[in-house]
């Protein structure tokens, strides 16, 4: 493990991008503090760091979305003076963001060609382009003629990545691209990246998953509190533990729940004859204090069942919960009243309210339970906010800050805090640690574990096998709308889960 040491390297010839002493401040927040680093041509360079470390801010600057407060960027040894998105895309630098930017009422193929800027005097062979686009899409399993608005989250993400590659990107920046991808999709993406790398394309790759960094990256740089904290030019020589230590500046004890066997207990939740679009479940019981994992390929039913229980996916059937039996909730309000809380994996759509403060967001959903006879208990509210702001380690000067000034992972923490604060009987969390750094991930799993100790039943919908292994007592693997296999005890392993999901 070495701190970036470029002395003695023939850097001028090697570096496609050089970041020199870049600083970025947002009022009192110093997001980047004099960061200097080099990205070598034709490499895959990992950018690592905890939530709020400054990764997205830095790549925002490199791609022309943000202006630095000071410092400069050199490409091919030449300093770039004015950088905006168009100028950087023309120079071949593309950013694929955490939230895909896709135009819904255009086809997939048209979206792919969005990045092609016809140059003045030059001309674009649209026919060839269209044929190329169709060929590229065919290889990715996306129907080029389909309206982009109809594509699912995974296809949209793939489309965005393909767009940058298709547009002749020389430097392609991927800000957490793999979060919504299956293992198979990830393999396709990585193969694609390797192929382009061999042709000389350079990548900057942001991820919170060690296994991905170790698999795909040649070099890494680590940001901590806006500073360049270290890095390595030889990722192949690192272990996962060393990588974690590089990111956190300390070792980390990985959380592992002492798995419980709930067989024979009187269930807290009983589901019967749940039938809906792509969903058909005869019976499923959940014990009090049980953590139940739902997993499967997209569309296999894991997410659909979770959403049906919260009144978000149309389905018939009965639920027995808290001593009462009735039809599945018709909407989230009814589900909430029955004591069910739900964290969506789509934090843009049903997530945090951006302009509101962190504190108000955390208090939002739990408001009804703490308002007695029409007025709100402010003291209780303040203590709930303080508790979850602290427990989740939200990185902001105070809970009064607006959520949309937070980094992606910190917004996710606020959403999770809000759901946990509602005191549910049944907690449903969809990809609870997606986008959350490796240190906080352990805290989140620990908080869910502690909640289950109080008797709350928990459903974790996840494609993160490591997360299921660490947190779940039992895992249901979904296929074609039904549960095809249920794993318990020692059978809950990464290998076993992967095999079952892909089978
Ligand atoms: N528009 C803004 N206004 C105020 N502060 C901001 C703004 N954008 C980012 N920040 C702050 O800058 C810091 C760095 O945020 P950034 O999004 O770069 O983190 P990150 O490393 O990408 O984290 P994550 O892993 O959570 O995505 C954070 O403290 C964040 O709150
Ligand atoms: Mg980010």
pLDDT band at 39 (very low <50, low <70, confident <90, very high): very high
Per residue in 373-390, pLDDT tens? 445 566 777 777 777 788
The per-residue pLDDT for 167 is 79
Distances (CA, A) of 86 to 83, 92, 171: 8, 10, 14
Per residue in 401-436, pLDDT tens? 888 888 888 888 888 888 888 889 999 999 999 888
Mean of all residue pLDDT scores within the chain: 86
The per-residue pLDDT for 378 is 66
Of all residues in the chain, the percent with pLDDT exceeding 70 is: 89
Judged by its nearest atom, the ligand closest to the C-alpha of residue 407 is: 1
Question: Among positive and negative, which fits the CA dihedral 469, 472, 477, 481?
Answer: negative
Q: Residue 2 pLDDT more than 50?
A: no
Range in 355-359, 367-371, 397-401 with the lowest mean pLDDT:
367-371
Going by CA atoms, what residue is nearest to atom 7 of ligand 1? 405
Closest ligand 1 atom to the C-alpha of 27?
4
Range in 64-78, 159-173, 237-251, 378-392 with the lowest mean pLDDT:
378-392
Q: Name the token pair of 286.
A: 């959940």
Q: Which residues surround ligand 2, an ion (CB under 5 A)?
A: 56, 407-408
Range in 17-26, 402-411, 448-457, 484-493 with the lowest mean pLDDT:
402-411
The per-residue pLDDT for 354 is 64
Instruction: For ligand 1, say whether the CB of 53 is within 6 Å of any of its atoms.
Output: yes
Q: What is the CATH number of domain 11-248?
A: 3.40.50.300
CA distance 160 to 178: 12
Per residue in 89-130, pLDDT tens? 888 899 987 666 788 888 888 888 776 655 556 666 777 778
Closest ligand 1 atom to the C-alpha of 410?
26
pLDDT band at 472 (very low <50, low <70, confident <90, very high): very high
Instruction: For ligand 1, say whether the CB of 126 is within 6 Å of any of its atoms.
Output: no
In angstroms, how far is the first alpha carbon of the chain from the final one?
A: 39
Q: Name the token pair of 272.
A: 């019967």
Instruction: For ligand 1, say whether the CB of 406 is within 6 Å of any of its atoms.
Output: yes
Judged by its nearest atom, the ligand closest to the C-alpha of residue 60 is: 1
In 5-61 the beta strands, taken as DSSP E runs, fall at 15-26, 29-40, 44-48
Judged by its nearest atom, the ligand closest to the C-alpha of residue 51 is: 1
Instruction: For ligand 1, say whether the CB of 286 is within 6 Å of any of its atoms.
Output: no
Closest ligand 1 atom to the C-alpha of 50?
25
Instruction: For ligand 1, say whether the CB of 31 is within 6 Å of any of its atoms.
Output: yes
Q: Name the token pair of 129.
A: 């382009």
Q: Which of the 8 DSSP states describes residue 252?
A: -
Please give the distance, rounded to the nearest whole angstrom, from the Cα atom of residue 3 to the centre of ligand 2.
23
Q: Of 19, 57, 60, which is best to mutate to test ligand 1, by the most ligand atoms within 8 angstroms of its C-beta?
A: 57
Judged by its nearest atom, the ligand closest to the C-alpha of residue 406 is: 1
Contact yes or no for 29/397 (Cβ under 8 A): yes
Q: What is the mean pLDDT of residues 269-281?
A: 96
Please give the distance, rounded to the nearest whole angstrom, from the Cα atom of residue 502 to the centre of ligand 1.
36
> Same CATH topology for 11-248 and 260-339+425-432+456-503?
yes
Domain 260-339+425-432+456-503 CATH assignment equals 3.40.50.300: yes
Phi-psi category of residue 322: left, alpha or beta, with phi > 0 → left and psi -120 to 50 → alpha: left
Going by CA atoms, what residue is nearest to atom 4 of ligand 1? 405
The per-residue pLDDT for 56 is 94
pLDDT band at 156 (very low <50, low <70, confident <90, very high): confident
pLDDT band at 370 (very low <50, low <70, confident <90, very high): very low
Going by CA atoms, what residue is nearest to atom 3 of ligand 1? 405
Judged by its nearest atom, the ligand closest to the C-alpha of residue 208 is: 1
Please give the distance, rounded to the nearest whole angstrom, from the Cα atom of residue 88 to the centre of ligand 2.
20
Q: What is the mean pLDDT of residues 320-325?
A: 92
The per-residue pLDDT for 328 is 96
Question: Among positive and negative, which fits the CA dihedral 179, 442, 460, 478?
Answer: positive
Q: Which of the 8 DSSP states describes residue 235?
A: G
Judged by its nearest atom, the ligand closest to the C-alpha of residue 175 is: 2
Contact yes or no for 416/429 (Cβ under 8 A): yes
Going by CA atoms, what residue is nearest to atom 25 of ligand 1? 51
Please give the distance, rounded to the nearest whole angstrom, from the Cα atom of residue 51 to the centre of ligand 1.
8
What residue segments make up the domains of the chain, in order of their start? 11-248, 260-339+425-432+456-503
Instruction: For ligand 1, say whether the CB of 75 is within 6 Å of any of its atoms.
Output: no
Q: Of 407, 409, 416, 444, which is best to mutate to test ligand 1, by the most ligand atoms within 8 angstroms of its C-beta?
A: 407
Distances (CA, A) of 143 to 115, 127, 153, 156: 19, 18, 14, 12
pLDDT band at 10 (very low <50, low <70, confident <90, very high): very low
**What is 394-434 written as a DSSP string?**
--SS-TTSBGGGS-HHHHHHHHHHHHHTT--SEEEEESTTT
The per-residue pLDDT for 400 is 87
Instruction: For ligand 1, say whether the CB of 408 is within 6 Å of any of its atoms.
Output: yes
Instruction: For ligand 1, say whether the CB of 358 is within 6 Å of any of its atoms.
Output: no
pLDDT band at 8 (very low <50, low <70, confident <90, very high): very low
Closest ligand 1 atom to the C-alpha of 395?
29
Of all residues in the chain, the percent with pLDDT exceeding 90 is: 53
Instruction: For ligand 1, say whether the CB of 29 is within 6 Å of any of its atoms.
Output: yes
């Amino acid at each position: 493990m070495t701190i970036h040491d470029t002395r003695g390297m023939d850097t001028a010839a090697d570096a496609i991008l050089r970041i020199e002493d870049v600083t970025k401040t947002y009022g009192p927040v110093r997001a980047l503090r004099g960061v200097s680093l080099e990205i070598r041509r034709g490499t895959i360079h990992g950018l690592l760091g905890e939530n709020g470390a400054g990764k997205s801010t830095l790549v925002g600057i490199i791609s022309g979305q943000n202006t630095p407060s000071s410092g400069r960027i050199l490409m091919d040894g030449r300093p770039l003076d004015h950088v905006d998105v168009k100028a950087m895309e023309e120079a071949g630098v593309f950013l694929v963001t955490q939230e895909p930017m896709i135009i819904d009422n255009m086809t997939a193929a048209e979206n792919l060609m969005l990045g092609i800027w016809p140059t003045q005097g030059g001309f674009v062979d649209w026919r060839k382009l269209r044929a190329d686009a169709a060929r590229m899409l065919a290889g990715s399993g996306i129907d080029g003629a389909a309206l982009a608005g109809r594509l699912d989250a995974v296809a949209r993400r793939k489309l965005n990545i393909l767009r940058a590659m298709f547009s002749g990107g020389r430097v392609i920046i991927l800000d957490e691209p793999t979060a919504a991808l299956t293992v198979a999709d990830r393999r396709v993406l990585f193969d694609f990246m390797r192929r382009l790398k061999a042709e000389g394309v350079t990548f900057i790759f942001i991820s919170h998953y060690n296994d991905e960094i170790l698999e795909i990256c040649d070099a890494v740089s680590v940001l901590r509190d806006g500073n360049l904290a270290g890095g390595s030019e030889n990722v192949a020589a690192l272990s996962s533990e060393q990588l974690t230590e590089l990111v956190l500046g300390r070792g980390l004890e990985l959380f592992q729940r002492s798995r419980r066997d709930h067989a024979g207990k009187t269930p807290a939740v009983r589901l019967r004859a749940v039938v809906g679009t792509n969903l058909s479940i005869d019976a499923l019981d959940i014990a009090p204090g049980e953590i139940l994992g739902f997993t499967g390929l997209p569309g296999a039913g894991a997410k659909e069942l979770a959403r049906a229980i919260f009144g978000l996916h149309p389905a018939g059937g009965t639920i027995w919960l808290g001593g009462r039996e009735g039809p599945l909730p018709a909407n989230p309000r009814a589900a909430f009243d029955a004591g069910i809380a739900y964290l969506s994996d789509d934090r843009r759509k049903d997530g945090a309210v951006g302009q509101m403060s962190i504190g108000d967001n955390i208090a939002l959903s739990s408001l009804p339970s703490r308002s007695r006879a029409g007025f709100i208990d402010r003291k209780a509210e303040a203590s709930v906010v303080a508790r979850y702001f602290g427990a989740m380690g939200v990185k902001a000067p105070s809970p009064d800050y607006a959520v949309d000034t937070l980094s992606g992972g910190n917004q996710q923490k606020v959403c999770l805090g809000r759901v946990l604060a509602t005191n549910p009987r049944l907690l449903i969390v969809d990809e609870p640690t997606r986008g959350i750094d490796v240190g906080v991930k352990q805290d989140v799993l620990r908080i869910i574990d502690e909640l289950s100790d109080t008797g709350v039943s928990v459903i974790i919908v996840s494609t993160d096998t490591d997360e299921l292994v660490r947190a779940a007592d039992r895992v249901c693997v979904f296929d074609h709308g039904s549960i095809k296999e249920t794993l318990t005890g020692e059978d809950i392993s990464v290998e076993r889960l992967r095999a079952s999901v892909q089978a």
